[in-house]
Amino acid sequence: MSVPNRSLKFVSFLDRKADGWFDDLEKLVNSFADRDLPCNVFIEDPQFLLYLTETSDSSLLSKFSKLNRLANLYLIMPTDRSLLDYSELSNDLSTVYSTLLLKLIHKAHLMLKLRPLRTGRADDITGELVVIKGPIDDPGLSIRERDYLYLLNKDGNVKLFYR
């Protein structure tokens, strides 16, 4: 799917060979490089690249770093407690995931935490959004740490409220 002005492009790698994802994405990002606006790349559930390919977490981090130099990189990952438990087995999914997430957190400029209300959805609030400054400081980036509550309406609109 792409928008008529070609400023937004959705790419799915499910129908391609999993090992070639980085080369394909790098070519796509470079094709946007001639524009004046910075390119933003959102990767949802990047931990699957560890499970589906013969890639180590260090190799994956290296690819993410290279991609982040070409574009603004945003990684979207779940933080379910069951995924964050270490086990005695080094190749256990929760251990691999926890290790990757911890390494990514240590390289982050900014982290966003988005979660539904713990008590379920209320009529006036759907969940909370927390903006957190990451451990990597960038003098050109001003981040205000804030907590918000959000409401997702039936028509798909989102309202933010300061907490």
Same domain, 138 and 153: yes
Q: How do strand 158-162 and strand 146-152 relate by DSSP bridges?
A: antiparallel
Residue 154's domain comprises 109-163
Domain closes at, from 107, 137, 152: 107
Same domain, 151 and 77: no
Residue type, 111: M
Same domain, 137 and 98: no
Same domain, 1 and 67: yes
Among 17-21, 45-49, 128-132, 144-148, which stretch is predicted with the lowest mean pLDDT? 17-21
Domain closes at, from 60, 92, 107: 107
Domain closes at, from 107, 125, 143: 107
pLDDT in tens, 27-38: 888 887 767 777
Q: 54-79 burial string, b = 16+ CB within 10 Å, else e?
A: ebebeebbebbeebeebbebebebee
CA 158/CA 98 separation, integer angstroms: 31
Nearest Cα neighbor of 35 from 1, 8, 10, 12 is: 8
- Averaged pLDDT for residues 112-141: 85
Report yes or no: 66 and 24 within 8 Å, Cβ to Cβ: no
Nearest Cα neighbor of 5 from 30, 41, 37, 42 is: 37
Looking at per-residue pLDDT, the higher value among 53 and 46 belongs to: 46
Same domain, 70 and 146: no
